Amino acid sequence: MELSSRGRLMPASPIRRLVPLADEAKARGLKVFHLNIGQPDIPTPPEMLEAMRRFEGPVLEYGPSGGLLETRVAMAGYLRGLGWPIEPKHVLVTEGGSEAILFALTALCDPGDEVVVFEPFYTNYSGFACMAGVTLVPVETKVEEGYHLPSRDVIESAIGPRTRAILYSSPGNPTGTVFTRDEVRTLVDLAAKHDLFVIADEAYREFAYDGLTATGVLDVAAEAGCLDLAILIDSISKRFSACGARIGFLVTRNELVLDSCLRFGQARLCPPTLEQYAAVAGYQQIARYVPPMIEEYRRRRDTVMAGLRRIPGAVCAVPEGAFYAQPRLPVGDADAFARWLLTGFSSGGKTVMVAPGNGFYATAGKGAEEIRIAYVLNEENLRVAMNLLVQAVETWNTNR
């Protein structure tokens, strides 16, 4: 009795696979500062929790497979507010953005088909691709270039006969990069030329700093006259600090894609019911809730960068968005370094946990000196955590 190939090859999450080591460190009495996972500490809007509490029953029923109408109305209204041509019928509510990605890959790709991604990329794209039997074809982006896209020709050379889509996140996880309008337009144009879809993961849309605005795939595709190729992945997890709600969205004007994804959705019956009411309440609070949150993350980003600048040899462009940085550190094997942070290092009874950067690459060997930092701690803790990191790099390099 053996597992399937994909059952064996499915990658463990680089964000979560060191958790047993963190648990052991905590059992030894250490305080562990978590920079490994994008779990925000910002309070969820209380109105969202209240919306769930208001549910009186008597029966916690299945909702529609495509999501509650009021939730689809709220999401469509939000997107229309951005100027995009979206009605509730273009919105499918999913079990987190995660499920939306899996549905999109499955609807577009048969086993062996290819999807172009830009590495480093959100690590779980690898997991969903493995589950769906899809091959990710990575195009390299570089820390020295702030992880912005290479030239159109370089991207085009990754497109082959089995390519079905281009998948990216912007604002980017793990890079913090916000693609320019020209970059998004290049991807849309390439997709139009080669009969591909563009799957844009915009879960961090509002998380753009220094006056930047993230460009939406629906906006650019509408401008380019090819709305049918655009598939938007979205989520309330980060926007409303509600990761445990498991509410995401797949939004597209392409009826065939939406219908296919709805049939996938029918198989799993429905997304959680109460959290969809919470999502509605969240969107009602967005104007009040989001701007100060973004300002808070901007300050944290500056704290992370101030820390990184104190590490001689560290390379990292200033992240433009999301709440991640993917610096290259002068530590040789960053995976070993990340383990050692939990097993061999401490200072004043404290240590810090980061995600090894190689887990965000499809190409073996790449990202070996990188880590991902999620700046989801308050400034005071973040300062402590960055001090620990600075000190750890120094100790690591002294000892090896």
Q: Which of 175, 215, 273, 303 binds a second copy (CB under 8 A)?
A: 273
Contact positions with a second copy (CB under 8 A) in 121-140: 124, 127-128, 131, 133
Q: Which of 21, 31, 39, 339 binds a second copy (CB under 8 A)?
A: 39
User: Is residue 264 near a second copy by the rule CB under 8 A?
Assistant: yes
- Cβ within 8 Å of residue 206, ≥6 positions away: 214, 239, 290, 294
Q: Which of 27, 267, 287, 364 binds a second copy (CB under 8 A)?
A: 267
> Would you give the DSSP letter of residue 347?
B
* Amino acid at residue number 145: E
User: Is residue 59 near a second copy by the rule CB under 8 A?
Assistant: yes
User: Is residue 169 near a second copy by the rule CB under 8 A?
Assistant: no
d(CA 301, CA 355): 17
Judged by DSSP in three states, 296 sits in helix
Parallel/antiparallel/unpaired status of strands 371-374 and 114-119:
unpaired
* Amino acid at residue number 370: E
Indicate the residue among 83 and 292 with the shorter CB distance to a second copy: 292
User: Is residue 89 near a second copy by the rule CB under 8 A?
Assistant: no
User: Is residue 246 near a second copy by the rule CB under 8 A?
Assistant: yes
User: Is residue 13 near a second copy by the rule CB under 8 A?
Assistant: yes
**Considering the complex, what minimum distance in angstroms separates the CB of residue 77 from a second copy?**
22
User: Is residue 305 near a second copy by the rule CB under 8 A?
Assistant: no
**Considering the complex, what minimum distance in angstroms separates the CB of residue 126 from a second copy?**
8
How many residues lie near a second copy (CB under 8 A)?
Answer: 84
d(CA 33, CA 350): 8
User: Is residue 16 near a second copy by the rule CB under 8 A?
Assistant: yes
Q: Which of 257, 281, 317, 338 binds a second copy (CB under 8 A)?
A: 257
Q: Which of 25, 76, 93, 108 binds a second copy (CB under 8 A)?
A: 108
User: Is residue 162 near a second copy by the rule CB under 8 A?
Assistant: no
Q: Are the CB atoms for 306 and 298 separated by under 8 Å?
A: no
Stretch that binds a second copy, among 10-18, 135-143, 313-321, 333-341 (CB under 8 A): 10-18
Indicate the residue among 27 and 59 with the shorter CB distance to a second copy: 59
**Considering the complex, what minimum distance in angstroms separates the CB of residue 355 from a second copy?**
12
Stretch that binds a second copy, among 58-66, 146-154, 327-335, 338-346 (CB under 8 A): 58-66
Q: Which of 1, 27, 287, 364 binds a second copy (CB under 8 A)?
A: 1
Q: Which of 61, 151, 211, 225 binds a second copy (CB under 8 A)?
A: 61
Q: Are the CB atoms for 75 and 87 separated by under 8 Å?
A: no
DSSP per residue, 7-72 = HHHPPPPTTTTTHHHHHHHHHTT-EEEE-SS----SPPPHHHHHHHHT---S------TT--HHHH
**Considering the complex, what minimum distance in angstroms separates the CB of residue 151 from a second copy?**
24
**Considering the complex, what minimum distance in angstroms separates the CB of residue 290 from a second copy?**
16
Residue count of the chain: 400
